[in-house]
Amino acid sequence: MKFGKEFKKQKVPEWTEAYVDYNGLKRILQEICRVKKSKLPPAPLRATQQRSILCRTFSGLNPEAGNLQNSEDIENPVIAVNTVQEENCRKLYNTELLVSPEELEENEITFFRKLDDELNKANTFYKDQVEGVARKAALLNTQMDALIALRIKVMNPSFHGSSYLRRLSTNIDNLFPSKITSPKRAETFVVEHMNLTPEMELRCQGLESDIHSESDSAPVAHYVGASIDEANSSECKTTQLEILDRVKISNNFETPISTIKGVFKDSKEKDLSFKKEELREVEERLKHVFVEFYHELRLLKNYSFMNLSAFSKILKKYEKITSRRAARSYMKIVDNSYIGSSDEITTLMDQVEVTFIKHFSNSNHREGMKLLRPKQRREKHRITFFSGFFSGCSIALLVAIILLIEDRKLTDKENTTWYLGMIFPLYSFYAYIVLHMLVYATNIYFWRRYKINYPFIFGFKQGTELGYREVFLLSNSLAVITLGTFLVHLYIKMDSRKQDYKTCFDLFPLGLLIVVLFIVFCPFSFLYRSSRFFLIKCVFHCICAPLYEVTLPDFFLADQLTSQVQAIRSFEYYICFYTWKKSSRRQTKCSNHDAYNIFYFIVAVIPYWFRFLQCVRRLFEEKHIAHGYNGLRYFLTIVAVVIRTAFELKKQFTWQVLALVSSVIATMFNTYWDIFVDWGLLQRKSKNMFLRDKLLVSHKSVYFAAMILDILLRFAWLQVVLVFNVHSLRGTTISSIFSCLEILRRGMWNFFRLENEHLNNVGKYRAFKSIPLPFNYYDDDDEDDDDKDD
């Protein structure tokens, strides 16, 4: 693979603009090459030059020949790189070409000017990120101190905060960004400020004997990771710590109980209870914090490596095109710059590994590294094979069903037409789900193609996210099972010899539903258990809205449910269908029963109600008026759906007018929100006219086509109010077609919504994934300041 493609592949999507503009530098070199070729001498002269090269004297194979060329680069430099010191102690680099104006090309000046800008940009970004992780490291130090003290307290209730504990030679108060500006102080930097292994030892002999006398002393020694025998009061500097008296547990209102308590209490903190359940909760949260922190360190290390490689590669291309030896001189400057000489990240990664393995994986190196460096999911050939196999089977089964209906003339017989209309909602439930899964697989394919970081945005655990092949396989598998069941059901039902068992045939859809639900909720480790449980958790969060904090997967799933109203109504029909004993009256009884009609209203409103409550939750948490407008949008949609459903059932002119007005208002509001807010398009001052500044799809016509389609498909639901009569379509066929169109519209919305989230963080859900720390730590100085304020 060429370096340009590898460089693009290895980029962190959120940091794209901070990387070296490798392609921009290449374009400048291509322009230089084009100018050079236009000035080349005639062919005979070039042949003479080649013969003269062949006749040069042989310099030998000794290594000194290469050193001679390197010394020649230094003695006869082509460039001189000047360093400028800024007020904030940061260096800027400026290159000057030491070539006569006759030999110098204007594009070469442009090339080195851009090269300097890219080096300065990479240095600034990298240094800012290192300072950021330094501050996080300081916070993690205090968190680990509190965790270890809490472990000792939980395992030994008689242990009090006034006990003597020892910390390593780290001093958190001395950690400031100015302390890490010098790249040559990497070792000192980590030892002084970033040592994330705050092992504690007990000094006092009395405390030592007390702990040894307790039956739980082994877990304490195991957790703390320190040997009491090694404690030497004469050598170790001890500090009297009462850290647990200055620590509270942060309450993030992540559960319904904590949310309800938060309504009645203003404080987002709670005192320590010193229970094992509390310890396990803190350990689990800190474990996730360390995993994400280590992931950020790995991304920073890869950022440094890829940018240094880009500088090296582009300078080699410059030497090849211009025949000037400038790479060695410039790379010496790059290597001495902050991004080239800083070792803070590498050393900090080692310290994080040691801390995590010792304190969170029971000193099991293999298990600890498995959590810190999860393996990426590998594409398997059998997934592709079975995807194609099941897709072929589903197409064959669909053709077989059509041929069976045409061969038996089922649509021309009144009794068979009635029966097909009765069981159609039972199987259309799966058709909507399969179509939505196929759309989602298509979304994943295009998200990957355009480098949209969907696993990070959705918060999937690294290595467990499903690719488009896996989703395509699951959708086709469900399609095969559904079509096969429907074909057998229809074939046996039409066989007059088996009419005595007609009650058993009607149980086929119910059996299929039980199988699907069993697979979804099966706790065993097969068929992508982590993804199934992630889906179940998001569905549960939607149902319990607004008791859970709203994350992007939760609101995204709720939006998908708003496009599956017909599928949810089909599920309601399942319950009604298998409640009535007489099959000949099931469909009529369902549609005429008051309880069924009431739930027919409620079921259509449920997905929009979920989104409305989520918007209310975010409005109270973030105090942003946009969430209020978004909640109003869903409330108007709820009103329109209720009035529209009333018109479907009563067919009165008054309801028709109300349904038309409310549907038009809600549709206009929703269309505006789709294009202007969710997609971020039609911006007046955009560099791309009527679009937005940042675009991932190179063809701008795609965005205009998507806007037009979104408007058309949004207003397509007005057919329910206007009552289009198509004689060739019977029963619920028209509503089913428009339901499928709504699913396709949602799939289109998904792509552009996530593209906008990826580029502009429109939902304010992420800049970099950060997990709230479990402890809130209060210094004595903070308490004194509070007293003074009082």
pLDDT for 347-388, tens place per residue? 999 999 998 888 888 888 888 888 888 877 777 888 989 999
pLDDT tens for each residue of 162-191: 444 444 333 333 333 334 444 444 444 444
pLDDT tens for each residue of 298-336: 889 999 999 999 999 988 988 888 877 888 888 888 888
Mean pLDDT of 762-771: 53
Angle between helices 106-155 and 344-360 in degrees, nearest 10: 20
Lowest mean pLDDT among 245-259, 539-553, 704-718, 751-765: 245-259
Measured over the CA atoms of residue 635, residue 638, residue 643 and residue 644, the dihedral's sign is positive
**Comparing C-alpha atoms, which of 236, 225, 203, 220 is closest to residue 153?**
220
* Element (DSSP H or E) covering residue 390: helix 381-408
> Burial code of 743-754, b = ≥16 C-beta within 10 A, e = fewer?
bbbbbbbbbbbb
Q: In what order do the strands lie in the sheet with 247-250?
A: 269-270, 247-250, 775-777
Lowest mean pLDDT among 172-181, 270-279, 473-482, 663-672: 172-181
Q: Return the pLDDT at 779.
A: 59
- Tell me how far apart the alpha carbons of residues 91 and 499 are, in angstroms, rounded to a whole number: 88
As a whole number, the mean pLDDT across the chain is 76
Q: Return the pLDDT at 441.
A: 95
With contact defined as beta carbons under 8 Å apart, do 554 and 538 qualify? yes
Residue 122 pLDDT more than 60? yes
* Between 260 and 98, residue with greater pLDDT: 98
Residue 205 pLDDT more than 50? no
Neighbours of 622 (CB within 10 A): 12
Beta bridge partners of 250: 269
| 589 confidence band (pLDDT: 50, 70, 90) | low
Could you tell me what percent of the chain has a pLDDT over 90? 21
- In the chain, the amino acid numbered 164 is Y
* Between 339 and 277, residue with greater pLDDT: 339
Q: Return the pLDDT at 461.
A: 79
With contact defined as beta carbons under 8 Å apart, do 760 and 754 qualify? no
* Between 531 and 731, residue with greater pLDDT: 531
Whole-model pTM over 0.85: no
Mean pLDDT of 336-344: 88
Residue 391 pLDDT more than 60? yes
Q: Return the pLDDT at 238.
A: 32
Q: Return the pLDDT at 177.
A: 39
| 116 confidence band (pLDDT: 50, 70, 90) | confident
End-to-end C-alpha distance for the chain, whole angstroms: 66
Could you tell me what percent of the chain has a pLDDT over 70? 71
pLDDT tens for each residue of 136-156: 888 888 888 888 877 877 777
- Tell me how far apart the alpha carbons of residues 440 and 747 are, in angstroms, rounded to a whole number: 7
Instruction: Give the range with max mean pLDDT: 118-127, 365-374, 416-425.
Output: 118-127
Nearest 10 degrees: Cα torsion 492, 498, 500, 502: 0
Q: Return the pLDDT at 730.
A: 53
